[in-house]
Structures are given as structure tokens and as C-alpha cells.
Amino acid sequence: MGRASGRLLRTTQPVGISSYGAYIPLWRIRTDAIAACWGTERRRVPIRAKAVPGPDEDTTTMSIEAARNALRRVSVPPAEIRAVWVGTESKPYAVKPSSTVVAEALGLTPYVSAADMEFACKAGSEAMQAAIAYVGSGMARYALAIGMDTAQSRPGDSLEYTAGTGGAAFLFGSAADSAAQVEASLSFVTDTPDFFRHAHQHYPQHGQRFTGEMAYFYHSLNATRTLLAELGRTPADYRWAVFHQPNPKFVQRLAKQLGFTQDQIQPGFLVPLIGNTYAGSSLLGLAAVLDVAEPGDRILFTSYGSGAGSDALSLVVTARILDCRDGVPRVRDYIERKQEISDYGLYLRLMRKIHRE
Amino acid sequence: MRSVSIIGIGQTPVAEHWNRSLRDLAVEATLAAIRDAGVERIDALFVGNMASGLLCQQENIAALIADYAGLRGIEAIKVEAACASGGAVVRAAHLAVASGAHEVVVAVGVEKMTDVGIDGVTSALATAADADYEAAQGVTFTALNALLMRLYMERHGYRRADFAPFVVAAHENARANPNAMFREPVTVEDFLESPLVAEPISILDSAPICDGAAAVVLCPTERAREFTQRPVRILASATATDTIALAPRKDPLWFDAAYASAHRAYQQANLSPADVDFFELHDAFTIVSALSLEAACFAERGQGVRFALDCNIHRGGKLPVCTQGGLKARGHPVGASGTYQIVEAAQQLRGEAGENQLRDCHVAMAQSIGGMASVAVTHILGV
Amino acid sequence: MELPRYHRLRPTFYRLEASRCTACGQIHFPPRDLCLTCGSAANQPLQLSGRGRIVSFTRLWQPARGFHDLAGGVTALVELQEGINVTAQLTDVNPERVAVGQEVEMVVRRLLSDAERGPIVYGYKFRPVLKTHQAVEAS
């Protein structure tokens, strides 16, 4: 046990991930098509392609599928799922929850709590914390947390090369019959204006290099180190590590600074293939790790959201993981299901940056 | 119920009538029919129309047309049965006279489609389908018919080009119809080159968007000769329905409403398909023409296209169809087409069809179909 | 779409809820109070699986108002596993590679293209079945 464990968030009853489900859309835009439009030098483009939504998709439709996948892996009575939290920064409505549509589509209404959460890319892990609290306090037997985004970016901006689409859903329940137990979590939050979007603007603004050391690294490093210290653990105690993934270099640098190897981050390292799925990023990474993890594996999970903050979780995989993987598409099934487009105009239409009146 | 005859007919040309409103067209056709009948007094007016509310922002059009046609005060009622409204209005008028409720009535079918844009018309026509389970899914009327066309082609081994005779024949017949919208011939090549609307249906498979009105005057057969030397007797008048949507049907390629209404009509008239000299069928799409021939028992199941390919449907053939252009070439102002069919059949039977005149014709069938054949109105006329 | 109408459509649009006649077993989608086959009023709710195959399809070039995103897309008649048909849009599909007999599954998507006026309408569409890990290993 750690020394002073005053900063860890622990539940009164043990909680775990009972099931999980992912979603990534079919479509990919090649980043060289974006670069060709704006005259960006090839080597400054950090990834080859990113996932974009189809014209009939949004955070709500994707959340429904990820959540359906989670529910199909286990047999949990719908009436026992007492909360649905959707974390996103691309809510289809400015005012009207997506989570209620998800709850209705899954047959979980009416005796259920529901809300949408926002904390930039950390909104999904916020939803996880809330779900952990609902179950861990005894308020509910099960609670559903979803992180999902159809990330928007300003045309011609550097983030246009990485802002991707996708996310995952996690069903939390009692640790005793879960696939991965939550040992503890910790949130590290400050008011840091690295990236934001004003109410009536389509596109966010960001602080370029300020978003690195002062934002992503500061919060991810502190959250992770404090969690590990208070648990009395080192990176070597973990088989896998998952971080928020704005681009490949940040993730690799963070892992290195913390002392995690490339092998440890590899299954969850999705940004080179699909881009940064914002509130879905660290959650999709975790889902990809759970797809390959073995009983007894420890997983370190640290998200990051601009504004800014990180949620860090320590998880232990149980034998039940083997019962809860089949019957629905895995993360790699979604990754492999792809149709690439290299028409920047079509991309603009899919991202609703241009539309017919 | 007593026998009813047509004693007067009238029609406007079918066209994009930018300078004429719905009421203008309906009044023109109504007055033309009344003049043709030479009657002094009209007891009731029936107005057939599908979508005046959506297309012209005007409901209550029976009162409107009675008002503007100099018939203010008489009984006037609108009849709606989607694209079969023009046939249904004649059915209603027939019932009014056959029952003894009225002596002399006018039935006018009218539609004004060109005031709104193409997507407005597409949306209005989609109201004939199931609003929640077809239209709300973005399934257009043309798409529904295209599903049938592909299914038919696969099941019976036809290609797109095999459907061309319906269109070629209709356009050929329209050449000599001064009221037809399209009077130029169409070749098989034109048909195959024409842009697709909902594959495999192309622009030339489908009837056009247009405006028009047609009207008939009815009275009891026993009095018809007071008014005209050439009354046309209504030997049968029958309506039948099917499910509103396509999906619940056991066999999507069987038009049960068209079959049942034709069957009832044959029974009323004590006739069989062999007795029919020509058929004004509802050629909204070529697939509908094929399935109508089968439902009315002029061709075996799956043989409707074969029947047309074998040159049976031309003016000199075994069963001429769409003798003055049909919905395809005369035009399809949706709520009026059924009435145009009856007016044109009457012209043939009276010997007034000019260059299109069929030799020796005594019995005509006219069938007006609404929605995905969810309603069908069949009339048999004779002299 | 009008709010009350959309509200009423949620069970069918989101969950493909059907009904089954307890007298003769006929399944109806959308649900019915009176059985189309035997006329009985004893109809119970039934949750459909969402799996089916394409019976016919068309590529739509002239969509209705509010559906402009469907231009060039595919509308299909799908026969569901339960033996009944449904008309719906296909999604996540290359229109040039659609075939009669193709296996499809239900997903929830945005139905209307124009979301400015009225609610965002979510409802069922069908897409080619996405392989699952178990399915791959089994083959």
C-alpha cells in the first residue's frame, strides 16, 4: 500500500469494468489531400489518415453503437443500468442531451440518470469517473460511461491533420464480476487556457506550443506520477499503458518521460491510424488494450483534456475478460473496416463545414 | 342502382401552365365539359385532386371551383385517392347518379404541380406512401417503384431496354393528341440514354410533372339521349385497396388492388379481358404498366413486359394502351390523370380521336392507380 | 419533423420494435393493433434482431426535400430474419457494390439531412454486416 493516499479517489465498494464497446466510422480522409489543398510540407503532417464521420453520423449515433456493443457482450438487465453519461465536445445539440437518445435507444429509460459532459478531450474519462462513483457508492448496480467525438477543426489549421472521429463505451459494475477492476483513480485539474471554443464559433482556438509542456504534459505527468506514487507502483508493474493521443509524438514522449516502453503503449496507440478522437481517444485506446489483455494484466490509463486536466486510473484485468470479448466488433475490426477518400471537398462536406441549404 | 352515362367531356392541354392557376384550369375543363354536354343545370360537382394543399396552399377546392365555375350553391365535394383521385372522382360522381341522389353531375380532376420546385413535388408525392415508414425514411415514390422494377427484372430476366415499348408507344400516340404535353417521338436509344432518377428508373421511364384538368358530365343512361347523340355508358365502376406501404405485402410484384378493382369491374359489366378493345392504364412508370397488364389479367404474371415487347400494345395491336399518350406522354397532373383517361377513352368510343382513332372499338377499360397501388379505380366504358 | 410525431416514432425508429399476433404468429413492422393476416386484435410487442438480407435496391439520384445527403445513395427493400420486409436507406456502403442477397444489419443514424428546423431525427438504416472477432475465427 502507498504512503499518504489522501489524493487517490477510492470508492466504498469495489468497482470494475463489466463490459465495453467501441465505434469508429467507416470513412478515412488521407491527410495528403488536406496538405495538398493548403500547401503544407509533407514532413510536417503527423499521420497518414484520420477517421471521419459519414453524413448520417454524429456523436449520438456513434455512442449508441458503442454502447450496444458493450451491452451485447454481457447479459445485464437493462433496468439495472441506472446512469448514462456521454462525454463529448461535439454534441449534436447545444442544448438537449445526447445521453437521453442513447438511453432510449438502448431501452434504459425511464428510471435512469443521464447527462452530457464537457471537458474537452477528458469528457469521456469524466463520464467514467461519474459512473465509477455511482456504482462505487452503491447508488447503482451498473452505470454506462461513453466518450465520443466527431472532432471539428479549422480548415487549414494544424489540428486539421489529426482531429478524428470515434470513441468507446464502458459499463461499470461491481468489481466482483467485472472484466477489469478499478484499483483507484485520481484527477489532476487546473484552469489552463490551452484550447477552447467560443459559444457561437464553429472552430476552436489553441495555444500552439503552449498546449504541450504547460498543458498536455503538465497534467498527464502529474496525474500519472501522483497515482503511481500513492499506489506505491512503478511503470514496470503495468503490462499496458494508455494515454490521451493528440498526435504520435506527444504520446511517445509522454510514455518515455514516465518510463513506459513502446511495447506497453502499442495496442492502445491508435492515433497514427485514425487520428485524435478527442473525448474518445484515451477510451478507445483502453478498449483496444482490453481486446488483447490477459487476466492479471495491470493497465495504467491517463486521459487529458484541455482547459485543463487529466484523469488517471489503475486497472487490473480479471479472468472474466475472456468471456466478454466475442460477439461484437473489436477495435481492430473497426480500424480494418475503412474506406479512404482523398477528395478534400467531400471531406469538408462530411465534416459539415460546407453544406447545401 | 341505375345505369350511368357520360354525356359531356372537357380537358385542358397538359403543360407547365405558368399563366394559369389551379382554379383557372379546373374551371376551364368544367365549363368545356358542360358545354359539350349541352346541359343547363348541374346538380353536383365532384373535384378530384391529390395535393392542392401542399402544392398550391389551397384546400376546400370543391367550394372554390363551384364558386368560380358559376356553380355556387350546389353540392360540391373533393375526392382524394392520391394519384387515383382522377378516377376516384368519376367513381364518386357515378355513385351519386347511379344511386338516384342526383341527375346531372360534373366530375373534374385537376392538379397544379409546377408552382413549387422539384423537391417540393417529390415531397408532396411522397405523401401517397407511408408517411412514417417510407417518406420519413427518405424513400421517394420513384425509389419504391425502382425497387419493384429491379425485383421484376431479376425475377423474370428482363433488361432495362425491354421496358422501352411502353414509352415508345405512348409517345407515338401523343403525336396526334393536341392536348398532350410531349408530342415528339422517343426511341429506344433515347430511353436508354435518359438520366437515372432512382436506378433503374430514368426520367423517360416516368411520367412528367405538369398541370392540367379534365372533366366529364354524367347523367342516368335513360336520359342520355336528351343531351347527346353519342353517350358513353359506364358499364362498371369499382375501387379496391391494398396495404399503404410496400413492405408488408406478401409479394411486392402483385398489385392486389388493381386486380381486385378490375375483377369487380369485369363482374359488374359481365365481361372478360378478351372483351376489352383498349386499355387506358396508369403508366406512371413502365413497371406499373407491366404490372397493371398482369393485374387486369391481360398478361400472365411476369409477362407484362413480354406482352409489350410482342407489339400488342400499339394502336394496331391486340390491346392498344394509352391511346392518346397515357400518363407518360399526354402527361400526369396526378389528381387529374384518371379523369383524362376516361375523357380520352370516351373520345375513342365516340369516334372523336382524330388520327389516333382506333378502328371498331366498343369497350374500354380505364384504370387509375394511387400510391404504390394501394388504391385502384377501374372503369369499363362501352358504346 | 413535428415534435409529437417524432416522439411517437421512437420505439420503431430507435429499436425496430414490432408486434406479433398471438393468434397466428404473423409479425408486423411497424406494429399493428389488428393482424393483417387473421384480423385478431391480440398483438404483442416483439423486438426484432435487425439482421436481414437485401431483396431489392435502388440508387437514388433525386431525393425528397430535407434528404439531400441521400443523393447517390441506396434505398433498399430488406427481408429481416423474422421473415418480414422493411424499406430503408442503406449506409456505410459503396453504392456500386450493393447486391441482392447481401447480408445487412440495423444501425441508428440521422435520417434527415437538415437539422436546423425541428429535432434531429434519428432512425434505422441498414449496413453490410460488420465482421466480429468471433465470426472471423469461426470462418
pLDDT tens digits for range A115-129: 999 999 999 999 999
pLDDT at B57 over 70: yes
Identify the H or E element spanning A61: helix A59-73
Contact C61 B201 (CB under 8 A): no
> How much is the pLDDT for C114?
65
β strands within chain C, DSSP E: 17-21, 27-28, 43-47, 51-60, 73-80, 85-89, 103-110, 122-128
The full DSSP string for A285-307 is HHHHHHTT--TT-EEEEE--BTE
Give residue-wise pLDDT tens across range A275-311. 999 999 999 999 999 999 999 999 999 999 999 999 9
Q: What angle do CA C40, C41, C47 make, to 5 degrees?
A: 100
Q: Does C139 reach chain A within 8 Å, measured CB to CB?
A: no
- Coil/strand/helix, residue B369: strand
Residues of chain B with CATH 3.40.47.10: 4-117+210-226, 138-206+233-382
Name the pLDDT band for B110 (thresholds 50, 70, 90): very high
> How much is the pLDDT for C115?
64
> How much is the pLDDT for B205?
87
Name the pLDDT band for C111 (thresholds 50, 70, 90): very high
Question: Which residue of chain C has the CA closest to A53?
Answer: C92
Note which residues in 43-102 of chain C have CB less than 8 A from chain A: 68-69, 89, 91-92, 94
> How much is the pLDDT for A356?
76
> How much is the pLDDT for C46?
95
Question: Domain A15-179+324-350, what fold?
Answer: Peroxisomal Thiolase; Chain A, domain 1 (3.40.47)
Specify burial of residue B72 (Cβ count, 10 A radius: 0-12, 13-18, 19+): exposed
> How much is the pLDDT for A183?
97
Question: Which residue of chain B has the CA closest to C9?
Answer: B132
Domain residues of chain C, as ranges? 1-48, 49-139
**Phi, psi at A182, each rounded to 5°:** -90, 115
> How much is the pLDDT for B122?
86
CA-based nearest residue to A301, from A284, A288, A282: A282
Question: Domain C49-139, what fold?
Answer: OB fold (Dihydrolipoamide Acetyltransferase, E2P) (2.40.50)
pLDDT at C95 over 60: yes
Name the pLDDT band for A357 (thresholds 50, 70, 90): low
Percent of chain B at pLDDT exceeding 90: 96
- Contact predicate B353/B347, CB 8 Å: yes
Give residue-wise pLDDT tens across range A142-159. 999 999 999 888 898 889
- Contact predicate A124/A283, CB 8 Å: yes
pLDDT at C137 over 60: no
Q: Whole-angstrom Cα distance, residue B126 to residue B113?
A: 14
Residues of chain A with CATH 3.40.47.10: 15-179+324-350, 180-322
Residue identified by cell 480479471 is A318
> How much is the pLDDT for C139?
43
Q: Does C57 reach chain B within 8 Å, measured CB to CB?
A: yes
Distance set, CA B29 to CA B19, B58, B325, C139 (Å): 16, 19, 19, 68
Q: Does B134 reach chain C within 8 Å, measured CB to CB?
A: yes
Of C109, C115, C133, Cβ closest to residue A61: C109
Name the pLDDT band for A101 (thresholds 50, 70, 90): very high
**Bridge partners of C107?**
C125
Residues on chain A touching C67 (C-beta within 8 angstroms): none
Q: Whole-angstrom Cα distance, residue A152 to residue A164?
A: 8
Give residue-wise pLDDT tens across range A48-75. 999 999 999 999 999 999 999 999 999 9
Instruction: Give the sheet arrangement for strand C17-21, strand by strand.
Output: C27-28, C17-21, C43-47
Question: Domain A180-322, what fold?
Answer: Peroxisomal Thiolase; Chain A, domain 1 (3.40.47)
> How much is the pLDDT for C133?
66
Specify burial of residue B277 (Cβ count, 10 A radius: 0-12, 13-18, 19+): buried
Q: What is the CATH number of domain B138-206+233-382?
A: 3.40.47.10
Cell numbers of A293, please? Answer: 489483455
pLDDT at C79 over 90: yes
CA-CA-CA-CA torsion sign (B64, B69, B71, B75): negative
> How much is the pLDDT for B243?
97
Give residue-wise pLDDT tens across range B304-361. 999 999 999 999 999 999 999 999 999 999 999 999 999 999 999 999 999 999 999 9
CA-based nearest residue to B334, from B173, B145, B109, B119: B109
**Phi, psi at A228, each rounded to 5°:** -65, -45
Q: Is position A206 annotated as part of the catalytic site? A: no
Residue with the larger pLDDT of the pair A44 and B312:
B312
Question: Domain B4-117+210-226, what fold?
Answer: Peroxisomal Thiolase; Chain A, domain 1 (3.40.47)
Residue with the larger pLDDT of the pair A354 and B176:
B176
Of A54, A60, A329, Cβ closest to residue C130: A329
Q: Whole-angstrom Cα distance, residue A169 to residue A273?
A: 20
Average pLDDT score over chain A: 95
pLDDT at C18 over 60: yes
pLDDT at B375 over 50: yes
Give residue-wise pLDDT tens across range B178-211. 999 999 999 999 999 999 999 999 999 888 899 9
Residues on chain C touching B374 (C-beta within 8 angstroms): none
Contact B137 C89 (CB under 8 A): yes
Q: Whole-angstrom Cα distance, residue B256 to residue A222?
A: 73
pLDDT at A1 over 70: no
